[in-house]
Amino acid sequence: MTDQQFVPLAQRYMDTIFRIAYSYLRSQADADDVTQDVLIQLYKTETAFESDDHLKHWLIRVTVNRCKNIFRSPWRKVENIADYENSLTFEAPEHRELFDAVMALDKRYRLPVLLYYYEGYSQKEIAGLLSLPEETVRTRLFRARGKLKATLTEVLQYD
């Protein structure tokens, strides 16, 4: 891949890769490392991508695999999400509450929610990306919505 081909692709997909990695690992430093690793792998790849969708699927699959490798490593240190969250700015208070609620979900629910609602993937596509049965993805999204509803309803009652 040439620099002229790589630079626009890196700029276009860097945020997506970071969001997925951060959602999975809940560590800004690890998400930065994964983003860098995935982009280096993209630069070095000799794969001929059929379309932008094919490329995006490939990047997400590589990101998830890299996250799993990091998550399994014995020296992985978990950072407090509140530290990173405090550095973020949100347009409305509801957006912060939603972010808090999504990030509080277990990772098995968090990643499908991110891919479905933020990245626009179908349940079938998510199943392929995460190597899960489609019914499992459907169940996780259903449970995540229930957990988010309960959490956000609770937050609104205290406001």
Outline which parts of the chain fall under CATH 1.10.10.10.
89-159
> In the prediction, which pLDDT does 48 show?
85
- Residue 108's pLDDT is what? 87
Task: Give me the pLDDT at residue 80, please.
Answer: 55
Structure confidence by residue, pLDDT tens digits, 42-63: 999 888 889 989 999 999 999 9
- Is it the case that residue 17 has pLDDT exceeding 70? yes
1 against 52, higher pLDDT: 52
Tell me the average pLDDT across 18-45: 90
CATH no., domain 1-79: 1.10.1740
148 Cα distance to chain centroid: 17
The pTM of this model reads 0.59
Give residue 156's pLDDT band: very low, low, confident or very high (50, 70, 90).
low
CATH 1.10.1740 in the chain: give the residue spans. 1-79
Q: What is the pLDDT of residue 155?
A: 64
The pLDDT value recorded for residue 118 is 82
**Mean local confidence (pLDDT), 17-42:** 90
**Residue that has been written with the tokens 């399994």 in this structure:** 72
Q: Please state, rounded to an integer, the average pLDDT across all residues of the chain.
A: 84
Amino acid in the structure at residue 127: A
User: Which class does domain 89-159 fall in?
Assistant: mainly alpha
DSSP annotation of 78 = P
Reported as a pLDDT band with limits 50, 70 and 90, residue 37 is very high
The alpha-helical segments, DSSP class H, found in the chain are 3-25, 28-44, 52-72, 81-86, 93-104, 107-113, 123-130, 134-158
**Structure confidence by residue, pLDDT tens digits, 126-149:** 998 888 999 999 999 999 999 988
Look up residue 142 and give its two tokens: 């259903």
Question: Rounded to an integer, what distance in angstroms lies between the CA atom of residue 27 and that of residue 81?
Answer: 7
Least confident of 2-16, 24-38, 68-82: 68-82
| Cβ–Cβ < 8 Å for 63, 20 | yes
